[in-house]
């Protein structure tokens, strides 16, 4: 399929590149580093070779979210967003931007999002999980009350918010002790992000702001497979839920969430996600440079789904959700 649009496609700047060192084996770090720092060269050649018309670019992880000093986190977000805007301006037909946000401070994040949407013409935001403010252990999830004004701004701007993974902190990851292979994309990324998403659903956030649009990568971080059980565990017990949300969490999942195929190139999983959330809410992505464009594109182009769904997932859903200026 030609004309595919990818939504979870990362880059780095020199100030953030080392945050990605250690996710893969040391011997491939030079290659990964080069991939992250390149935008206009090899990345474009791969897009051309594998039918990708556009990438929406976002800063590598955890970067801004892991900077404890709030002022410095704000400065880094501005620097990265300005850099990205300059790169997008070179080829706006091939690249668009997703904002990095200093969510250590909700007001600063709101102002930076407004700047990115209004002035830099970005299409939304991608945030690398929870933020740490002032210390390692002051961990902030976005269901907390201080973020309600921020979410009001997101809804008013009518832009998607991509909740991207990061590893739990050392103090919160005892379950992985002695098993480092479970960290990162193998398991910890998905578990951490799924819990964060469930917290958003249960908090009453979507009752207050029903037009919010949250994007999850990696085919939903395992949630499509689990949502029925989330709402129906111990069904013979009629005790009402103890969370503030007014509806079943699966209803918010189906109405306020969108999924991408980033880094999860499995047709059975895609079909499960389609059955759970619908083909109109799933979008193609590669997770470049941590995954290969050819692996994502070759799988998707041959996946046993209808051609109508392939066009939706590969292109038209993203164009509609992110208001992209693309033909067809």
Q: What is the mean pLDDT of residues 44-48?
A: 98
DSSP category for residue 169: P
Q: What is the CATH number of the domain that holds 250?
A: 3.20.20.140
pLDDT at 238: 84
- What beta strand segments (E) does the chain contain? 4-11, 52-59, 95-99, 124-128, 131-132, 139-140, 161-164, 214-216, 257-260, 282-283
Domain assignment of residue 328, yes or no: no
Query: Domain of 130?
Result: 4-321
Domain assignment of residue 288, yes or no: yes
Catalytic residues: 287
| Closest alpha carbon to 190 in 166, 226, 174 | 166
Q: Does 150 have pLDDT greater than 70?
A: yes
Domain assignment of residue 169, yes or no: yes
Domain assignment of residue 56, yes or no: yes
pLDDT at 328: 64
Domain assignment of residue 327, yes or no: no
Supply φ then ψ for residue 277, to 5 degrees.
-120, -15
Taking only the tens place, the pLDDT of each residue in 166-182 is: 999 988 899 999 999 99
Domain assignment of residue 13, yes or no: yes
DSSP category for residue 41: S
Domain assignment of residue 326, yes or no: no
How many folded domains does the chain comprise? 1
Q: What is the mean pLDDT of residues 6-25?
A: 96
Residue 317 in contact with residue 283, Cβ under 8 Å?
yes
Supply φ then ψ for residue 45, to 5 degrees.
-60, -40
Per the confidence metrics, is the pTM higher than 0.95?
Answer: yes
Domain assignment of residue 270, yes or no: yes
Place of tokens 């070759």: 298
Taking only the tens place, the pLDDT of each residue in 162-219 is: 999 999 998 889 999 999 999 999 999 999 999 999 999 999 999 999 999 999 999 9
Q: Rounded mean pLDDT of the chain? A: 97
């Amino acid at each position: 399929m030609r004309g595919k649009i990818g939504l979870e496609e990362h880059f780095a700047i020199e100030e953030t590149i080392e945050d990605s060192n250690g996710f893969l084996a040391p011997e491939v770090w030079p290659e990964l580093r080069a991939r992250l720092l390149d935008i206009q060269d090899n990345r474009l050649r791969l897009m051309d070779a594998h039918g990708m018309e556009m990438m929406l670019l976002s800063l590598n992880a955890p970067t801004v979210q892991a900077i404890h000093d709030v002022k410095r986190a704000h400065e880094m977000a501005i620097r990265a967003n300005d850099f990205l805007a300059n790169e997008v301006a070179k080829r706006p037909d091939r690249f668009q931007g997703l904002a990095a946000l200093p969510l250590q401070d909700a007001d600063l994040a709101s102002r930076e999002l407004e700047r990115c949407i209004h002035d830099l013409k970005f299409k939304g935001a991608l945030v690398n999980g929870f933020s740490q403010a002032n210390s390692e252990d002051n961990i902030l999830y976005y269901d907390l009350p201080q973020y309600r004004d921020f979410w009001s701004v997101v809804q008013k701007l009518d832009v998607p918010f991509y909740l991207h993974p990061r590893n739990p902190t050392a103090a919160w990851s005892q379950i992985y002790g002695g098993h480092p292979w479970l960290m990162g994309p193998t398991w910890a990324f998905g578990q951490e992000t799924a819990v964060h998403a469930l917290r958003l659903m249960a908090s009453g956030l979507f009752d207050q702001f029903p037009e919010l649009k949250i994007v999850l990568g990696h085919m939903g971080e395992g949630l499509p497979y689990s949502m029925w059980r989330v709402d129906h565990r111990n069904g013979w017990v009629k005790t009402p839920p103890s969370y503030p949300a007014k509806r079943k969490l699966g209803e918010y999942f189906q109405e306020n969430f969108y999924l991408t195929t980033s880094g999860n190139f499995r047709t059975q999983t895609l079909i499960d996600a389609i059955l759970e959330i619908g083909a109109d809410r799933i979008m193609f992505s590669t997770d470049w440079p941590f995954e290969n464009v050819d692996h994502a594109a070759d799988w998707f182009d041959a996946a046993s789904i209808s051609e109508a769904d392939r066009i939706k997932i590969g292109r038209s859903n993203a164009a509609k959700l992110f208001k992209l200026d693309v033909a067809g």
